Amino acid sequence: MQKESHTNLVKMVNQIAGNVFFKDNHDEAIDKVATHMRKFWAPSMRDELFEYEARDGHGLSDIAREAVRKLRRDS
Amino acid sequence: MLGIYKPGTDYGTPERVSDKQVSLIIDDTEVSVPEGTSVMRAAEIAGISVPRLCATDSLEPFGSCRLCAVEIEGRRGTPASCTTPAEDGMRVTTQNGKLAKLRRNIMELYISDHPLDCLTCPSNGNCELQDMAGAVGLREVRYGFDGENHLAAEKDSSNPYFTFDPSKCIVCSRCVRACEEVQGTFALTIEGRGFGSKVSAGVSGENFLESDCVSCGACVQACPTATLIENEVIKHGQPDRAVVTTCAYCGVGCSFRAELKGDTVVRMVPDKNGQANHGHSCVKGRFAFGYATHPDRVTEPMIRDSIHEPWKRVSWDEAFSFAAARLKEIQAKYGRNSIGGITSSRCTNEETYLVQKMIRAAFGNNNTDTCARVCHSPTGYGLKTTLGESAGTQTFDSVFKADTILVIGANPTDAHPVFGSALRRRLRQGAKLIVADPRSIDLLNTPHLGEHYHLQLRPGSNVALINSLAHAVLSEGLEDQDFIGKRTENYQQWREFILDPVNSPEQLEAVTGVSADLVRRAARAYAGVPNGAIYYGLGVTEHSQGSTTVMGIANLALATGNIGREGVGVNPLRGQNNVQGSCDMGSFPHELPGYQHVADDSVRSAFEKVWKVKLDHEPGLRIPNMFDAAVHGEFRGLYVQGEDIAHSDPNTQHVQAALGAMECLIVQDIFLNETAKFAHVFLPGTTFLEKDGTFTNAERRINRVRKAIAPLPGLQDWEVTQRLSSALGYEMNYRHPSEIMDEIAALTPTFSNVSYELLEEKGSIQWPCNEAHPAGSPIMHVDDFPIGKAHFALTPFVPTEERANRRFPLLLTTGRILSQYNVGAQTRRTANQVWHDEDVLEIHPHDAEERGIKDGDWLGISSRAGDTVLRARVAERMQPGVVYTTFHHPFSGANVVTTDNSDWATNCPEYKVTAVQVQKVTSLSDWQRDHHVFSQRQQAFLDAAMGDEPVARR
């Protein structure tokens, strides 16, 4: 069955968050995830995630969700 | 006059390096040489050639033939000049009546047991025995030819590339010594004693093919007669010209002399002036070049409206017009970002540069990516984050100063064989070895291997292992405080992180499967010596935490001060010939050439000025993102140069769905590969023998590729891209790849001094090569890092989501073998098939027994991505719970099973960890059956276009 287009993006951003978040660096981790998406992701991927987060956002980790919001605010 | 091609001077014995010079007089000529140099070499330097048979400058002196006897004032007898070191004040005579008589007598004995068939011998005109008979003035053989001899000895033609004719053997042992000293395999030996001595491959009764011989060709090259000789020389005769070029196989980037007779490549001989390989080679580069003229070559452009239609052969102009019109239509319909392209690590720097330039300038977006995405993209991310530059730090030769060598997730004797031989030589000299690998790789079977450690970790636990090694280093006080203090930043934070008990070897042994004691001993072996060097491969990068492991490796090197000099460093072993170059050339969607980010206004402005076009400031899509977008209908056109993504990329069924969704797929390749079966435009490509350009190897060495034969399709690859770009409305008018390199140098700060003129002068150049490093940089980060101070990155271990469970209880890891290369497009079309004509699944005896599996059984391999069927090979080198296969054959469908899990930072696929179940089956998988039908249909479409004509035309 074909996955929905945001499925991989959610997995990717959660993975980034999981790899940059430590015990006590909540804000820094959000910055890092947002920066990573800005630096390496095509705008179409970011836009799709913005839209998904605003619509539903199910499956996004806390850090990932906040990073998506931050990136949308800063864009 | 016969036009026999003669390579350069053979000095008889290897070069010696010494601070002290000694002066001596040889035949009235004074010569000064480094201490330790042989009299023979000193004489050759003085222009005096001493006759010899068992000596050659690629091997240590042996002193068996005695032909090189000389007289030395004040010494008794006639010492062998090859084994006698030159000394200060020595007076040597190489020619007088006594020596001439002695040499004639020796030659007389040799020739009395040698077939006198010179006129029909394949080495006629290029035989050292023949030369020496002439040099010593042999005029008669007083012993006759009727005595006991070896003239009836049987030939061994078992090896597909060379023949062993023992009747011509003079038992000089050069082949045996080459196998030991140069290759390090120890497959050959001298069997028997006295007159019965003979060269033997392996144990008595084995032929070359059955023996441990790896067909590197070192013995053939060392042989002074026609005893070991290439079958192509037997077939075609001696070559009459040579072109020095660079191998198109792995990332070692060996220099070769393509030796030709007319337009036929007779043989590829490793160039002893090659700065990466120093005259050595492997079976691929040395012998497997026949694919270049294989009948499967498609040498004319083809187009079709749909992949369900036959191909139509067309002119270049028609192909370019068709492709350009299609791409423009797609952009008009779906938007500017609906098309993209993929550059190749098999193509030259100049070709790669042009492809990404065309995408950015003519397509108008940054949807460019490269096959390095699926191999070493984590190296780029990890090393740039920690060391400030996306490249390895050393030369290959640096290994000769390493005291401990840590090899992680690499199998150099198979995948980088010439470097593997260098590594083995260093291990024989006494360096310690640490191997971190789930499998027992061949390096651990190195003859005369000394102190060594095998950290047989579980797949997916690299970061845990690297962290535990770093924990051991810090907790035992083995760090280099001076280096850390002067040259790094973020150390305290990293130290606290690593010293957390969760990163201790004791805590992590449950994760890695490696005992804490072994980890601590290995850490001491690495950090407790003057020079510790780390080499790694795709076993590091192709994981969900590939980038994290690369950063962990860099941290380890920084903490121990193992950066910035010979014998140390962080060394990514690049899989394909130009992985480094394709990354350097701006293939990634977020970076312009030289790893300069597209969002940097000043960088973009410099490119815009030269390219005369406005550039997009946002990153484009990576390969897996392109596939996802294609499946979801947003991405409809793709130009693929020299890559076979339908075969090499993971989750084949997803890739096929993406390619099947394309409205215009343009494939530029030498064969109609798996990807081309989904294409609408086929642009015939050229092999490395047919073009000019440069490759950059794993040590950042830029080497020239020189055209040896005319391009079969008429155009070189860079010309094809240039004309496609022009058809799209973005004119390119380069006249030669050197002009492309000039543009690269003008726009890439690390290349600013590079030019074809400098390459001709120096042979090769290691970047950075610029104002600060005008002659290049063999060792990086000697005084500083591009980011000032190196950065300790925090590397938490995050387990992959791909885990074994009851449904999929085994972990599959994939890799490569010696005789085949990547997707096998080249090597499958050579006699290398003798060694590996199908991919098999290696499984530990315990797992095999549990499932009732025997060698040769058909096995169904299932993962959550798909199923395939392979034959079984029960192998002790596996650990229980782990199975292994290669992906050299398309039909095996190894990547049908691998998943779309990928590295968190770069999307490099996690080829090394797939949870699978394995069971005996009796029929092929559904995918294999469908693939067979699809491939047959596509072949029929090609055949219909070609009619009765042979495809590869000369």
Q: Which two tokens mark B647?
A: 């075969």
Q: How far is CA B688 from CA B5, B166, B676, B837, B888, in A?
A: 22, 35, 20, 24, 20
- Which residue from B650, B705, B640 is spatially nearest to B673, judged by alpha carbons? B640
Cβ-Cβ contacts under 8 Å, A40 against chain B: 590, 619, 622, 905-906
Q: Are residues B583 and B550 in the same domain?
A: no
Q: Please state whether the peptide bond connecting residue B768 to the residue before it is cis, i.e. omega within 30 degrees of 0.
A: yes
Q: How far is Cα B818 from Cα B415, in angstroms, rounded to an integer?
A: 6
Question: Which residues are CB-contacts of A33 (< 8 A; sequence separation ≥ 6)?
Answer: A13, A16, A17, A20, A63, A64, A67
Instruction: With a cut of 50, list the residues of chain A below it in pLDDT.
Output: 1
Angstroms from A68 CA to nearest CA on chain B = 16
Rg of chain A over Cα atoms, rounded to whole angstroms, equals: 12
Residue A32 belongs to what H/E stretch? helix A26-40
Q: What is the mean pLDDT of residues B130-147?
A: 91
Over 70: is that where the pLDDT of B953 sits? no
Looking at the structure, do residues B343 and B241 belong to the same domain, yes or no? no
Question: Cα separation of B543 and B608, whole Å?
Answer: 37
Looking at residues B819-836, what average pLDDT do you find?
96
Tokens matching residue B30: 């004074």
The label of the residue with tokens 């460019």 reads B368
Q: What percent of chain B is modeled with pLDDT above 90?
A: 96
From the CA of A51, how many Å to the nearest CA of chain B?
A: 16
Closest CB to B337: pick one of A19, A41, A44: A44
* C-alpha atoms less than 13 angstroms from C-alpha of B309 in its C-beta half-sphere: 10
Question: What whole-number percentage of chain B has pLDDT above 70?
Answer: 98
Quote the domain boundaries for residue A54.
5-74
Residue among B597, B628, B798 minimizing CB distance to A18? B798
Distance from CA of A12 to the nearest CA of B (A): 6
Q: What are the angstrom distances between the C-alpha of B359 and each of A53, B327, B600, B660?
A: 31, 11, 18, 21
pLDDT at B149: 87
Q: What mean pLDDT is predicted for residues B833-842?
A: 97
Helix spans in B396-461 (H): 412-415, 417-428
- B447: CATH: 3.40.228.10
**Domain co-membership, B62 together with B210:** no
Q: How far apart are the first and last CA of chain B?
A: 28
CB proximity A32 to B under 8 Å: no
The verdict on residue B793 lying in a domain is: no
Of B312, B365, B310, B305, nearest in space to B341 by CA: B365
CA dihedral (B504, B507, B513, B515) in degrees, to 10, reads 60
Q: What is the distance in angstroms between the Cα of A49 and the nearest Cα belonging to chain B?
A: 13
Q: Report the C-alpha gap between B652 and B658 in whole angstroms.
A: 10
- CA–CA separation, B684 and B703 (whole Å): 24
Domain count along chain B: 5
More confidently predicted of B220 and A26: B220
Cβ separation of A42 and B907 shorter than 8 Å? Answer: no
Lowest mean pLDDT among A24-33, B351-360, B765-774, B837-846: A24-33
First to last CA, chain A: 34
* B730-B734-B739 Cα angle (round to 5): 130
Q: Across residues B95-124, what is the average pLDDT? A: 94
- The two structure tokens encoding residue B530: 């003057």
Q: Which of B542, B564, B586 is the last residue of a domain?
A: B564
pLDDT in tens, B399-430: 999 999 999 999 999 999 999 999 999 999 99
Cβ-Cβ pairs closer than 8 A, A with B, add up to 52
What is the C-alpha to C-alpha distance for residues B759 and B255, in angstroms, rounded to an integer? 13
User: Is A1's Cβ below 8 Å from some Cβ in B?
Assistant: no
Calculate the average pLDDT of chain B. Answer: 96
For B752-790, give the DSSP string: TT--HHHHHHHSEEESP-SSSSTT--SSS-SS-BTTBSE
- Please count the structural domains in chain A: 1
Which residues in chain A are closer than 8 Å to B900, comparing Cβ atoms? 8
Residue B368 CA from chain centroid, whole number: 24
pLDDT at A2: 53
pLDDT exceeds 80 at position B587 = yes
Whether B784 is covered by a domain: the verdict is no
Q: Does A7 touch chain B (CB under 8 A)?
A: no
Which residue of chain A has the CA closest to B865?
A: A1
Nearest CB to A39; choose among B590, B796, B900: B590
**Torsion sign over Cα B197, B200, B206, B212:** positive
Nearest to A42 among B497, B544, B621 (CB): B621
- Pairwise CA distance, residues B431 & B450, whole Å: 7
* pLDDT tens digit sequence for B238-280: 999 999 999 999 999 999 999 999 999 999 999 999 999 999 9
Q: Which two tokens stand for residue B563?
A: 């950066």
Task: Mark whether B598 and B722 lie in a shared domain.
Answer: yes
From residue B345, alpha-carbon distances to B349, B355, B517, B951 in Å are 9, 12, 41, 26
CATH code at B191? Answer: 3.30.70.20
**Residue B349's domain is classified under what CATH number?**
3.40.50.740
Q: What is the mean pLDDT of residues B707-734?
A: 98
What phi, psi does B293 have (nearest 5°)?
Answer: -120, 25
Domain of residue B835, CATH code = 2.40.40.20
Average pLDDT estimate for B810-831? 95
Paired tokens of B191: 């069997």
Half-sphere exposure of B313 (CA within 13 A, CB side): 13
Contacts of B312 (CB under 8 A, 6+ apart): B302, B303, B304, B945
Q: Shortest Cα distance from A54 to chain B (angstroms)? A: 20
Q: How many CA atoms lie within 13 A of B211 on its CB side?
A: 22
- Judge whether B171 and B198 are in contact, CB under 8 Å: yes
**Closest C-alpha among B670, B661, B613, B936 to residue B826:** B670
Q: Cβ distance B350 to B719 under 8 Å?
A: no
Q: Exposure pattern of B81-92 as b/e (b: 16+ CB <10 Å)?
A: bbbbbbeeebeb
* Set of chain A residues whose Cβ sits within 8 Å of the Cβ of B907: 12
**Residue B899: HSE in the Cβ half-sphere, 13 Å Cα cutoff:** 23
Instruction: Tell me if A16 and B905 make a contact (CB, 8 A cut-off).
Output: yes
- Rounded to an integer, what is the distance from CA B131 to the centroid of its chain? 36
B80 secondary structure, DSSP code:
B
Residue reference for tokens 């984590």: B378
List, as one string, the DSSP characters of B778-838. Answer: SSS-SS-BTTBSEEPPP------S----SSS-EEEEEE--SS--TT-TTGGGSGGGGT-SS
- Contact criterion met (CB < 8 Å) for B904 and A18: yes
Give pLDDT tens digits for B625-677: 999 999 999 999 999 999 999 999 999 999 999 999 999 999 999 999 999 99
Chain A residue closest in CA terms to B658: A2
CA distance B53 to B225: 9
pLDDT band per the 50, 70, 90 thresholds, residue B883: very high
The DSSP 8-state label assigned to residue B25 in this structure reads: E
Q: How far apart are CA A8 and CA A42, in angstroms?
A: 14
DSSP annotation of B333:
H
Cα-to-chain-centroid distance, residue B293:
21
* B chain contacts of residue A42, beta-carbon cutoff 8 Å: 337, 366-367, 589, 618-621, 625
- Put simply, the answer to whether A16 touches B904 (Cβ < 8 Å) is yes
> Mean pLDDT over residues B482-509, rounded?
97
Position B407, amino acid: V
Neighbouring C-beta atoms of residue B501, cutoff 10 Å: 10
Same domain, yes or no: B207 and B268: yes
Answer whether A45 sits within 8 Å of B597, measured CB to CB.
no
| Strand (E) or helix (H) holding B488 | strand B488-489
Q: How confident is the model at residue B7 (pLDDT cuts 50, 70, 90)?
A: low
Measure in Å the smallest separation between the Cα of B539 and chain A Cα atoms.
Answer: 19
Interface test with B, best of A13, A22, A38, A41 (most B CBs within 10 A): A41
Dihedral of alpha carbons A25, A31, A34, A37, sign: negative
Beta strand residue intervals within B239-372, DSSP E: 241-246, 255-261, 264-270, 302-303, 312-313, 339-343, 368-370
pLDDT at B457 over 70: yes
* Sign of the alpha-carbon dihedral angle for B605, B606, B607, B610: positive
Q: Is the pLDDT of residue B951 over 60?
A: no
Q: Would you call B620 and A40 a contact, using CB atoms and an 8 Å cutoff?
A: no
Domain extent, residue B554, equals 395-410+430-506+517-564
Position B376 pLDDT exceeds 50: yes
B904: which chain A residues are within 8 Å (Cβ-Cβ)? 12, 15-16, 18-19
Q: Please determine, for residue B124, whether its predicted confidence score (pLDDT) is greater than 90.
A: yes
pLDDT at B949: 63
Q: Is A31 on the interface with B (CB under 8 A)?
A: no
Question: Is B802 within the bounds of a domain?
Answer: no
Query: Does A44 touch chain B if contact means CB atoms closer than 8 Å?
Result: yes
Query: Hey, is B195 helix, strand or coil?
Result: helix
B461 plus B595 within the same structural domain: no
Half-sphere exposure of B831 (CA within 13 A, CB side): 13
ipTM: 0.96
Q: Touching check for A45 and chain B: CB below 8 Å? A: yes
Is residue B143, in this structure, part of any structural domain at all? no
pLDDT value of position A25: 86
Provide mean pLDDT across the span B515-536.
98
CB contact under 8 A, B794 and A22: yes
Mean pLDDT of B883-903: 95
- What type of residue sits at position B342? I
- Residue at B952 is within a domain: no
Classify the C-alpha dihedral B709-B710-B711-B716 as positive or negative. positive
Helix residue ranges per DSSP H, B124-190 = 128-136, 174-177
Read off the CATH number of the domain in which B84 is found.
Answer: 3.10.20.740
Among B710, B741, B772, the domain boundary falls at: B741
